Amino acid sequence: MGLRILTDLRNNESIPPPQSDPRYATKALLALTGTALLVNYVETMVIPGVPVIQRDLSTTATIASWITSSYLIVGSAVSPLFGKLGDMYGKKRMFLIALVFYIAGIGLAGFSPSIYVLIFARGLQGIGFAIIPLSLAIISDAFPRQKVGMAQGIISSTFAIGAAAGFVIGSIIVQDLGWQYAFHSALILSIFVFALIAKVLKKDVQVKQERLDYIGTAVLMTGVTLLLVYITEGPSIGWLSIEEIGVVIPGCLLTILFFLFEGKSVAPLIQLGILRVRNVLVANLVAILAGVSMFLTLFAVIYYAELPESFGLHLSVIGAALTLAPASTSMILGGPLIGRMTTRMGPKPVLFLGATLQIIAGLMYIINRATQASIASDQIVMLVGIVALSVSPVNVIAISLQPKHIAVGMGMNAMLRNLGAAVGPVVATSIMASYTRLYVGSQGNIERLPTSFAFDVIFSSVIAISVLIIILAATMKNYSFKKDVLTEAK
């Protein structure tokens, strides 16, 4: 069946939709959804244990923050590389290799004798983050294009579900058994997931192997790593400190150098031509902004929920996590529905919807956050909007690129979303530090805590980001599936 392809999609090539085995596609989706759920659960589970780890391993808050930063930084840096290797050597093979690193990192983390061993172990887990973009690329291969959106929506819905479960279960495990057992339990689940993936996924069709631009890969990974170090360390050691300047300048130079010379490489890591496709460029810009707004909101909500009365809701860590539970439940339904909307209406209206929901949620946060129930209702609207902004960009990548470039395209999109995710908490922290007042605790302790106005500024920032996403979405070429045919949506 022929396709009417958009002018800027697939370079005007009419490529027939791939043959799909419905039974295999369903099994693959269940296995990959379970993997994504595990990853999001494990990474959120770590957060409640950071203060305990800091105390047990006798370290500082700055060094302890690297328990989360090392995972994020390494994961962002390796995503494009594993995407490229997946296109070259097979997505299943690279998926399993990434999962081996993930399992090794979790296993080592649970037995870490020092904070530095733990940080190294978390870096190994970061290599395993590549399974997320590889999962989305495998889904694009397993499903016919008219059903890819729904499948991607199901996987995207695991983000908040895993996060909520991680906060609650992680808090209980850390409190009752110790932080080591959080990693021990995750290790058992990870080994089970590895066996499931090895059994369920089919081996990729062998593709023509290319040379890899090792120099360009090293330059990009080093540049991105330095930029993320700058972002994560700025709040603690000062944005203009000598150490930070010594990191950000070479980070910027290396990243710019990569994009200047990668187009001349005979075996580029990233085909920069894909960024000249309007939809792909917009999808990547939206990914950055969506990452910022998502973590800006989640960080602010969790922080606000745990602040003392007159500043916040004074909830426990478990209580704050339970506030996310209703929103997580809504995402179980919202993810597939958003995916189906993307198929029927195209990504452009879904981006409009996601950004509009974030604007509404931002306004709700400003005027309606006095109780745990009100925060929970605000969060439902916000997280459904986040799902819409997560599904549309990856669907655009899957539809707009040739099959041989999808995995590396997903890797690049994941890297950019992680860059945004790294910026979000930093922006939230900076705003909260800018608007404070004194608080005297029950035991006479005095500290400065963020005011209500600080959170108003944060949620107003989310609204402004959402407006920018709407502007970007307006420049996108829309498409939809009518009777299994890819057509330009009117």
Report the candidate in 409, 365, 410 with the shortest Cα–Cα distance to residue 383. Answer: 365
34 pLDDT above the threshold of 70: yes
Mean pLDDT along residues 453-467: 95
pTM: 0.78
Report the candidate in 302, 304, 303, 300 with the shortest Cα–Cα distance to residue 321. Answer: 302
Q: What letter would DSSP give residue 312?
A: B
Calculate what percentage of the chain has a pLDDT beyond 90: 20
pLDDT tier at 267, thresholds 50, 70, 90: low
C-alpha dihedral sign at 237, 242, 243, 248: positive
Report the candidate in 454, 444, 427, 449 with the shortest Cα–Cα distance to residue 365. Answer: 454
10-212+269-488 — its CATH code?
1.20.1250.20
CA distances from residue 336 to 129, 141, 385, 477, 488 in whole angstroms, order as listed: 23, 18, 13, 23, 22
415 pLDDT above the threshold of 50: yes
Strand partners, 103: none
Q: What is the pLDDT of residue 453?
A: 93
Cα–Cα distance measured from residue 418 to residue 425, given in angstroms and rounded to the nearest whole number: 12
66 pLDDT above the threshold of 70: yes
Count CB-CB contacts under 10 A for residue 394. 31
Token couple for 121: 């172990």
pLDDT tier at 484, thresholds 50, 70, 90: low
Count CB-CB contacts under 10 A for residue 414. 28
Token couple for 396: 């655009």
For the stretch 153-192, pLDDT in tens is 777 767 666 766 776 777 778 778 888 888 898 899 899 9
Domain definitions of the chain by residue range: 10-212+269-488, 213-268
Cα–Cα distance measured from residue 167 to residue 375, given in angstroms and rounded to the nearest whole number: 16
The answer to whether the CB of 236 falls within 8 A of the CB of 429 is: no
The answer to whether the CB of 274 falls within 8 A of the CB of 280 is: yes
